Amino acid sequence: MTDTLLLGQTLWFDGNPLVGPWADCARHDSAGGVLIRDDVIAAVGNGATLRRDNPQAKIVDYGRDLIHAGFVDAHMHYPQTRMIASWGKQLIDWLNTYTFPQEAKFGDKAYADAVAADTLDLALAHGTTTLTSFCTIHTESVDAFFEAAAQRNMAVVAGKTCMDRNAIPALHDTAQSAYDDSKALLEKWHDVGRASYAITPRFSPTSTPDQLTALGALWGEFPHVLMQTHLSEQLPEIAWVKDLFPQARDYLDTYEAFGLLGENGLYGHAIHLEDREVARLAEVGAAVVHCPTSNTFIGSGLFDLMGVAAAGIRTGLATDTGGGSSFSMLHTMAAAYEIGQLRGVALHPAQLMWLATAGSAQALRMEGQIGNLAVGAAADICVLDLASTRAIAQREVRADDIWDALFPTIMMGDDRAVRDVWVAGQRVA
């Protein structure tokens, strides 16, 4: 296969800018290049040098556009695509009013296929090359998502959402069926192509102790896979958890007591954490996921990004579609910036871009595979036009450096800013 050399501005990372100076972690080349060989990145460096050393490579010259790793969405719900931006509820009412009736449709494989295809195509249009998704209780919903991702050769993470109480009857499984279905789907899909399975209890209120015990046992059998769930999203939710689990020390303990706390755990939201929870998440090496558009849209609260990072907890960034109000990781970074401001921290563009790429990959235990322009990583690449609209262009032309040029696109950009997307070395049409 002919090598392909992408030329333009390049951005990659060799450290975590949330815990060290961003200037020591971010690497930018105003005249850079990325050499793609087969489906991986073969070299990153000065564009002219790479061109000289690889004379047979096909050249794709992006001029002043910015070449970086494809965005990595570390927490979302593809079954909620068709109800995104539904008006006016907080979490528990929102689930009952919008989410559960929509998810009940996913036993229909044709419907699940159509929504999975729409979701993945929308993600790619916004420069996102990896999604981490909750499915529904239906095995058909999991098959549909993984099949659609395989057709697009995308690296994805997903799992059957398990619930045996506190949802509409059409969405109840059982402790046994949750275990059996999850194990069968894990054995069917995990590490097949670019698919990764995640054991997926929705959250403690919708699983009985018996179901949580069963899923904890399953994770004990397959500790190398991810386990994803929700944690401490809203204050009324936390009060509900205390009523349902009066013996628990805190919300996290409702997972820990059943074997659902570990280094491959992925806990969405994690806004209202107690000190013990922060300490335990850090101690076991678990990851949390910041979902800023969702947290503001349904009024959940202000995530303490820098506090969590200072505690040593791996942190990703996510749209949380459809509680989140956008498919765009650019919009998601903008919301993260605004939440940071409300907490007294002005996140630098380098920190935001790291969260949306390398940080999320690290949260998924997929660093070195996706989320960065690194030799040997998959050639999952997004190319941003930093002057995509009139409003952005008139600001970008006055920029003093790359960060000043990039920040308007983070704050005001959308799918129009996505010049090109490459997945496993192939340009997405």
**pLDDT tens-digit map of 365-403:** 999 999 999 999 999 999 999 999 999 999 999 999 999
In terms of CATH, what superfamily is 71-327?
Metal-dependent hydrolases (3.20.20.140)
> What is the per-residue pLDDT for 429?
67
Q: Give the per-residue SS3 of the chain.
A: CCCEEEEEEEEEECCCCCCCCHHHCEEEEEEEEEEEECCEEEEEEEHHHHHHHCCCCEEEEEEEEEEEECEEEEEEEHHHHHHCCCCCCCHHHHHHHHHHHHHHHHHCHHHHHHHHHHHHHHHHHCCEEEEEEECCCCHHHHHHHHHHHHHHCCEEEEECEECCCCCCHHHCCCHHHHHHHHHHHHHHHCCCCCEEEEEEECCHHHCCHHHHHHHHHHHHHCCCCEEEEEECCCHHHHHHHHHHCCCCCCCCHHHHCCCCCCCCEEEEECCCCCHHHHHHHHHHCCEEEECHHHHHHCCCCCCCHHHHHHCCCEEEECCCCCCCCCCCHHHHHHHHHHHHHHCCCCCCHHHHHHHHHHHHHHHCCCECCECCCCCCCECCEEEECCCCCHHHHHHHCCCCCHHHHHHHHHHHCCHHHEEEEEECCEECC
Q: What percent of the chain has pLDDT over 90?
A: 95
Query: Which residues of the chain form CATH 3.20.20.140?
Result: 71-327
> What is the per-residue pLDDT for 1?
64
Confidence of residue 154 (pLDDT cuts 50, 70, 90): very high
Query: Which residues of the chain form CATH 2.30.40.10?
Result: 4-70+371-427
Report the topology of domain 4-70+371-427. Urease, subunit C; domain 1 (2.30.40)
Taking only the tens place, the pLDDT of each residue in 245-258 is 999 999 999 999 99
